[in-house]
Structure 1
Amino acid sequence: MTRRRLSAPRIAPALALALAVPMTLGLSACGINSVPTAEENVKARWADVQAQYQRRADLVPNLVATVRGAAASEERILTNVTEARANATRISVSPEQLSDPAAMKSFSEAQARLSAAILPLQRLQEAYPQLQSQGNFTTLMAQLEGTENRITVAVRDYNEAVRDYNTRIRTFPEMIGAKLVHGAKPLQPFQATTPNADQAPKVDFESK
């Protein structure tokens, strides 16, 4: 009697497929794909934050020039804004520095100083009504306010992406892939705080 042999080539593809599917699912569950995807999302959201701060920085010189034309005597305020803008544009945070608390703090503080310097500009129209009659000033202030709102949204989205990423690399099973393959480190949320933001800025129009 001749015995029939099972054909190895016929079994091999089926066996390979049966092993590949759970392995693929297992790797995905361990964060092989999801962790870098979450990291790239954080980087994209951070680019949005920087873009909005850059947009604000681009508006400031035009606003300063407009105010100088109508209220040249307020040179102290204009100088403070110009210096704060220069400092803010010098400090940047690359995607590789998002896990560095010191770098994030420096960026945040520089932007906060510019925010504080801009506040007196918004009060100048009270002492110089002629500013209100200048369409350029009104337009620039509206754009600046709109940019501040965009910054708030961009920072919120960035912090949400950081929260998602940091949760993934610290929870099972994605923490396995995060540590073994990606060497992932927690990323820093961004605190866009302005010193004494809860207090109305004091602008002394008498002393120069």
Structure 2
Amino acid sequence: MIVTIVVLGLLLIQTIVIYNRLIRLRNNAREGWSGIDVQLKRRADLVPNLVTTVKGYANHEQQLLEDITKLRNQTIADQSIPNQAKTAAELGRSLQRLLVIAEAYPELKADKNFLKLQEQLSEIENTLQKSRRYYNGTVRELNIKIESFPSNLVAKIFSFEKFDFFALTDASDRAVPEINLN
């Protein structure tokens, strides 16, 4: 009788420990996503200023500017993590094309406002990369715990679900950029 009570007590304690660990990991993943979301919002807030600045110099790039504005609006809209990752990657590629186009306009490259916006965008992209790594690390830990025995039993009982990674959706994002210094 005492042995049964001790075993049940140990199982209850183990369940509580696992449950609390799953809660902590889930909250870390949510916090990680919040960090990505903040950086995506900062980038989206920067886009109208960047578009306006470039528009004054590069009027014939209207289609690219419209695409960037559309993607910016999609980024702000509520989306699932895979959709938001896809939209964010598309916006990032479009912004890179915009910066490449800006190279053709010496007056634009010298514009103080453009230079400041370009610097802010670079800072945001670096922070966004760090946020993605943190988020994916916390998601990895949570998903491992949800799939591993005996925590998978507790996760199933309390309906814990795996999170999606913030992943690159386009193979071209993984390609090494070609650099021509000539």
Q: How many residues align?
A: 172
Query: Aligned in 2, Cα 1:121/1:200: closer, same or farther, shift over 3 Å?
Result: farther
Gaps of 5+ in 2: 1-5
Aligned to 2:42: 55
CA shift digits 1:114-156 (9 cap, x unpaired): 1222122111232100012211100101111111111111111
1:114 maps to: 91
CA distance in 1, matches of 2:72, 2:61: 17
Report the Cα distance in structure 2 between the residues aligned to 1:86 and 1:25, rounded to whole angstroms: 48
> Are 1:166 and 2:143 counterparts?
yes
Q: Which has the higher helix share?
A: 2
* Alignment partner of 1:138 out of 115, 135, 145: 115
Query: Rg: which structure is higher?
Result: 1
Task: Detail structure 1 runs of 4+ shifted over 6 Å in the superposition.
Answer: 18-21
List gaps (5 residues or longer) in structure 1: 1-17, 94-102, 202-208
Contact 2:82–2:164 (CA<8 Å) still a contact in 1? no
Deviation string 1:43-77 (CA, Å, 9 cap, x unpaired) is 11111111111111011000011111222232222
Identity of aligned residues (%): 29
Q: Which residue of 1 aligns with 2:172?
A: 196
Contact 1:112–1:195 under 8 Å retained in 2: no
Residue 24 of structure 1, CA deviation: 6.0
RMSD (Å) for aligned C-alpha atoms: 2.5
Match of 2:3 in 1: none
Query: In the superposition, relative to structure 1, how do residues 134 and 194 fare at CA in structure 2: closer, same or farther (>3 Å)?
Result: farther
Alignment match, 1:45: 32
* Residues 2-41 of structure 1 aligned to structure 2 (within 5 Å): 22=10, 25-29=13-17, 31-41=18-28
TM-score of the pair, normalised by structure 2? 0.83
